[in-house]
Structure 1
Amino acid sequence: MSKLALVTGASSGIGLAYAERLAAEGYDLVAVGRRRERLEELAAAVTGVEVQVLVADLATDEGLDAVAGACATRPLTMLVNNAGVSHYMPLAELPAAEARELVAVKVLAPTLLTRAALPGMLERGEGTIVTVSGMLAFSGPAPYSVMPRRAVYAGSLAHAVTMSQALHTELEPTPIRVQVVCPGVVATEFHSRQGLDLSAVPRMTAADVVTASLRGLELGEVVCAPGVEDTGLLDAVFQADLAAFAGQSPELATRYR
């Protein structure tokens, strides 16, 4: 039986690495991106599988509807929500149009594409949903001195983590697998398009991110952090989350009285 993966942001970086790896493993592809020439280069480069090029801008209603339609009507084995935009800047300096684009691509698109793909996956009794987030999802408490401010970007990544964890629980009685991938700094075009030169910073390759993701699926990881050696750190974060959630009461906390 053929396998079919839809990958967003497939024209470069992590999305291209997913597309190339999945094609090598025998997946037919729906390759989604904004740059037709890059997608056609991908289609020409892979062999032995079918590649459908779908040019779409997920920040637009038209583009999102087109890709959601593909998710709903094609027999997807895997959906990879990878598309992203950087827009690194403090919220007060972030133009409204860029804030809208960031939330559309990193929050709305993964939500609606997953929603479109799920019914078919459930009906067929198989499917995997991967959403690419990042370690900045855990950076909210960081002090001002640690890094440039990027509240909306970090918040969008945190949404992907919590949504994926909750969706995994919703789908626990089913065969559908859910994973969120949280790499650190990766050697792609992503930062250079923002005007950031990270050439001197140690960076993981996009291929290694994909290796971690696919192995993480085999290990049953819902949250895959490719650069975190001690998974106990992640477990501690999530156990603390649950402890805080369970620690609530209908009574006003003493410190507020």
Structure 2
Amino acid sequence: MSMSTYSTAETAAVSGRLALVTGATSGIGRAFAERLAADGYDLVIVGRRKDRLEEFAASHPGTRVRTVAADLSTAAGIDTVAGICAAEPLTMLVNNAGVAHYMPLADLPAEKAAELVHVKVLAPTLLTRAAVGGMQERGRGTVVNVAGMIAFSGPAPHSQLPRRVVYGGSLAYLVTMSQTLAAELDGTGVAVQVVCPGVVATEFHERQGLDLSGIPRMTAEDVVTASLRGLELGETVCAPGVEDAGLLDAVSRADLAAFGGQSTELATRYRTA
């Protein structure tokens, strides 16, 4: 079930800048909404909890806020928000909503696996698809996909970290999707970024029953600062906690080298002796 309300009027954006933020009731999504409101954006904020959405709108009387209570793990929720993305003149889309479900694949209930894929893969894909056509027509726009450094952790040995197969895979999808879409939209005036924070001080891990209170964590506000500054710098992949940006460039170069190194001939190591 989904609901959509405006806190003030019922017409399109009046500020000239309209941002839609998913998962806007806490953590990184809330920090994005706060920052964009302070920067003069009109907002469409999406979340599962109607009470939190309304609290945000009430606490920002100077900002035009549309609240949309929608569950992006459902087809109905995705359809509702995708319809808004297609109909409204968005200048920014922040695909932030997320769930984690950290457990080995064999132990992950099917419904939780489906929920994760809907929220972190299907929803960002369909919301971006709905928004990007209008952005291209208007010649401006920004899509920010919130992933995480776990997207780069696939090669890690079992001893290094607990396996989060579906979660890690979904974040890696967001990285590749963002890079490919950024290339596709080059020259259109539409920018695409994937922001990949590490451990952030939000409710996210607590909802999974993980106590990370003793571990140093970045603030959600710093993640947003990095993302917005990264857009100014022209970064497609923004890693707020990685000091040496050359490491990210090296990953990209290695990916392209492997891609370019393919041949129609069977590699020598696969030929029988």
Same fold by TM-score, threshold 0.5 exceeded? yes
Post-superposition offset of 1:173: 2.2
> Is residue 19 of structure 1 aligned with residue 33 of structure 2?
yes
Aligned residues of 1:26 and 1:48 also touching (Cα < 8 A): no
Counterpart of 1:143 in 2: which secondary structure? coil
Give the corresponding residue for 1:120.
Answer: 134
Give the corresponding residue for 1:96.
Answer: 110
> Is residue 242 of structure 1 aligned with residue 256 of structure 2?
yes
Q: 1:142 aligns with which of 156, 166, 171?
A: 156
Q: Indicate the percent of aligned positions where both proteins have the same amino acid.
A: 74
Give the corresponding residue for 2:55.
Answer: 41
Give the corresponding residue for 2:91.
Answer: 77
Counterpart of 1:207 in 2: which secondary structure? helix
1:177-218 Cα offsets, whole Å, 9 max, x none, are 000000000000000000000000000000000000000000
Counterpart of 2:218 in 1: which secondary structure? coil
What CA distance in whole angstroms lies between the structure 2 residues aligned with 1:237 and 1:224?
A: 13
Post-superposition offset of 1:47: 3.5
What CA distance in whole angstroms lies between the structure 2 residues aligned with 1:215 and 1:83?
A: 21
Counterpart residue identity of residue 162, structure 1:
T
Give the corresponding residue for 1:66.
Answer: 80
What CA distance in whole angstroms lies between the structure 1 residues aligned with 2:86 and 2:188?
A: 18
Give the corresponding residue for 1:32.
Answer: 46
Q: 2:239 aligns with which of 215, 219, 225?
A: 225
What CA distance in whole angstroms lies between the structure 2 residues aligned with 1:188 and 1:81?
A: 17
Aligned residues of 1:81 and 1:130 also touching (Cα < 8 A): yes
Counterpart of 1:145 in 2: which secondary structure? coil
What CA distance in whole angstroms lies between the structure 2 residues aligned with 1:22 and 1:74?
A: 17
Post-superposition offset of 1:86: 1.0
1:197-254 Cα offsets, whole Å, 9 max, x none, are 0000000000000000000000000000000000000111110000000000000000
Post-superposition offset of 1:138: 0.2
TM-score, normalising length: structure 2: 0.93
Counterpart residue identity of residue 187, structure 1:
A
What CA distance in whole angstroms lies between the structure 2 residues aligned with 1:109 and 1:200?
A: 33
Give the corresponding residue for 1:208.
Answer: 222
What CA distance in whole angstroms lies between the structure 1 residues aligned with 2:61 and 2:179?
A: 35
Aligned residues of 1:6 and 1:29 also touching (Cα < 8 A): yes
Moved over 2 A (4+): none
Counterpart of 2:159 in 1: which secondary structure? coil
TM-score, normalising length: structure 1: 0.99
Show structure 1 runs of 5+ residues with no match: none
1:29-76 Cα offsets, whole Å, 9 max, x none, are 000000011111111112422000000000101100000000000110
Q: 2:197 aligns with which of 164, 183, 197?
A: 183
